[in-house]
Amino acid sequence: MAMIFGLARELPRADAAMKNENWAKKELMGVELMGKTLGMIGFGNIGQLVAKYAACMGMKVLVYKRTWDPEYVRQKGFEQVHLDELLSQADFISLNLPLNPESKYLLNDETFAKMKDGVYIVDASRGGVIDHAALLRALESGKVAGAALDVYEKEPPLTWDLVKHPKVIATPHVGGQTIEAQLRAAEDIASEVVNVLEGNHLRWKIV
């Protein structure tokens, strides 16, 4: 959500201008979130929280997930759609899914072409779900109005052209870098070790 806010109101650019003693008020024309459509690609625990918070901001939320289960998504308060429908309708697209053979370069030249002109992209999942060369082309053409990236195919990135683009907000994979999140991670790891030793159910087991 911080990335979405930052893109909508160009907060990093505004801050940088002020630090350079530049009163860039007239140059910084943002967009409102209320009434916009957020396309959620991925609908796990994190995706569901982002969708919930976005709805509180007055955004319409469309969900794409690999398994077709519209009743489950409807019970959560949202609408499941096919990927092409999401791409064509979303004003903002948030990626919240794991990287696997099916999601590798899910956003590429072909899928960018299906999006609205002036769409905003947020990726805080895994860098490999976006073809970054294609994203750079979409930014240069104006198809993508802005992108916020916390993850990269190689970390740190091998090239910095995308990171340095004026319409990109880039952070060094800090999505989980809070005091509280690190404490929860430590507690979860310790809890799972105890569960293994005692033969109990594993809460975070990956199958």
Q: Which residues are catalytic?
A: 126, 155, 173
Secondary-structure percent of the chain, ordered helix, strand, coil, rounded to 5: 40, 15, 45
Amino acid in the structure at residue 75: Q
DSSP string, 104-135: TT-BSHHHHHTSPTTEEEEE-S-GGGB-HHHH
Taking CA 133 as the corner, what is the angle to CA 132 and CA 136, rounded to the nearest 5 degrees? 85
Report CA dihedral (92, 97, 101, 106) to the nearest 10 degrees.
Answer: 0
Q: Which residues fall within 8 angstroms of residue 80, CB to CB, at 6 or more apart? A: 43, 62, 63, 64, 65, 68, 69, 70, 72, 73, 74
Q: For residue 194, which amino acid is it? A: V
Task: Could you list the beta-strand ranges (E) of the chain.
Answer: 37-41, 60-64, 79-80, 92-95, 119-123, 144-149, 168-170
